[in-house]
Amino acid sequence: MESTASAHKAHRCSFAPDRTDPYTRLGTVTVFVRDQDRSLRFYLEKLGFRLAFDFRHPSGDRWLTVTPPDGTATLLLVAPHPGSEESKLVGRATQISFLTEDISAKFEEWRERGVRFQHPPQTQPGGATSTTFEDVDGNSFTLLALDEMTREVESERRAHAERWDSERRAAHEQEAARQTQARLFPQLPPPLKTLAYKGVCLQAREVGGDYYDFLDLGRERVGLVIGDVSGKGTAAALMMANLQAHLHSMCATYWNRPYTPFALDQPARLLQAVNGLFYKSTPENAYATLFFAEYDDATQRLRYANCGHPAALVFRNDGNVERLDSTCTVLGLTSGWDCSVGDERLFPGDTLALYTDGVTESFNDGGEEFGEGRLIETLRRHRELPPEALLASLAEGVRQFSPHEQHDDITLVVAHCR
C-alpha cells in the first residue's frame, strides 16, 4: 500500500507561488459507507486513489481518508452506527463531482475495472460532459469534464514540463560546476621527505567558497594554502576559482624565472601581488581569509602569513599547542594592503592543522558551536594517525556533533612532520 506521507501534500497545480494571501483549498469531504475496508479497496483498486490517513481516534472511531492522485482533496470514509441518522445517507447521491481532462478515457478505464456507471458520458450545454457512477455502497458521484478546465490542465502540463526541464538543466549545470571545482583542489600534491600532508573539503552545497591548495614552489618547497571566500554558493565558488588562479599565476610567473627571492623567500610580496589582482577582479566588499605557509623540506622551516583566517594549530611532539594567529587583514578589501610574515620550525612528531570556520562554527541542536576547544581535543586524541585517517576522524567528529543539515563548507588540512 502506498505511503501516506506524499498523498496529502499540496499539488503544484493547486498552489500558485505568486499568491500573497494564505493558502487555502478544499480539505475533506465525508462519504458514508457500510464497510470501510471494502470501500477502501474500491477507491484504491477501482478508482486508483491513494490512502491519505488511516488511524484510530481515541474515541475508537477509525479515521480513514483517500485522495485522488493529484491530492487536491480527501474523502473521509465514515461507517456510521447502524440505525443512526447518518446510516440513512449510505447509498444516496453524494453531490460530489470529480473533474477529469479526458472523460472518455477515464470512463473506459474505470468501467474496465468494474466501476458501475449509470450511463455513458453525455454532453451538456456550455461545453460540459458528464456521467454518473456508483461505489460499492451505491453512493453516486458525477464524473465531469469541462472544456475550460481541460485547457487549464494542458497549460499546467506544459508549465510543469518547462519547469522540470529547467530544473533538470540547472541540476546538470550544478553537477558540472561541482566536478569542475573539484578539479581545482590539488590532485597530486608535491612529495616531501619530511612532511606528510593531506586536505579535504566537504561542501555544504554543490559548489562553495572554501579553498585549499598545495603549491609546488620549487627547490624542495611547498606552499600550504587554505582560504575562505565571503559569500556562499556559485558566486563564492567563482571568487574562489579567481583567487586560486591568481595564486597559481603569481607562483608560476616567478617560479619559471631565474632565482629570485620574490616568490620563494618573500611570501608577503607574493600575497601583495595576489591581493592586488583579487581586489581588481572581485565585487566591492568581497574578500577572502587566507592562510599561506611556505614549507622548506630541507630545513623544516615554515614561513607563514595569516590573512584574517582562523588560527592554524601546531601540536608539538611534547603535547603543547601553539596558535599561528593573524599577521594581517583579509585579502581583497583594499589595494593598499600589506602583511607581516611569521616564522616557525617543525620538528619530527609535530602536527600542523589548518581549517576554515565551517569546522569551528558547526553547531548542534542546542545552538552550541563545535569551537576551537573541541577541535583541539579531537586533534589531540587522533594526532598519531596518518593524515588521511586524521582528516576522516576530524570530519566524523564534526558530523557527530552537528548531525543536522550542513550550513557551511568544512575544509581541513593536516601535515605531520616526519
Q: What is the pLDDT along the chain (418 residues), one digit of tens a residue?
A: 444 444 444 444 555 666 677 777 778 899 999 999 999 999 999 999 999 989 888 888 899 999 998 777 899 999 999 999 999 999 999 999 998 989 999 999 999 999 999 999 999 877 799 999 999 999 999 999 988 877 877 887 788 888 888 888 887 777 777 777 777 788 788 889 999 999 999 887 777 888 999 998 888 889 999 999 998 888 888 889 889 999 988 887 655 554 454 444 468 888 999 999 999 998 888 999 999 999 999 999 999 999 999 999 999 998 899 999 999 999 999 988 988 999 999 999 999 999 999 999 999 988 899 999 999 999 999 988 999 999 999 999 999 999 888 888 899 999 999 8
Asked whether the whole model's pTM tops 0.85, one would answer no
Cα–Cα distance, 106 to 47 (Å, whole number): 9
Amino acid 15: pLDDT? 58
Amino acid 75: pLDDT? 93
Amino acid 146: pLDDT? 87
Burial of residue 357 (CB within 10 Å: 0-12, 13-18, 19+) is: middle
Amino acid 394: pLDDT? 93
Contact 103, 145 (CB under 8 A): yes
Give the CB-side neighbour count of residue 148, counting CA atoms within 13 A: 3
Strand, coil or helix: what is 369? Answer: strand
Query: Which run of H or of E encompasses 177?
Result: helix 147-184
Amino acid 263: pLDDT? 42
Cα–Cα distance, 289 to 185 (Å, whole number): 17
Q: Which domains are seen in the chain, by residue range?
A: 12-161 (3.10.180.10), 173-417 (3.60.40.10)
Strand, coil or helix: what is 383? Answer: coil
Whole-angstrom CA distances from 204 to 98, 226, 367, 414 are 45, 17, 18, 21
Cell 614549507 belongs to residue: 295
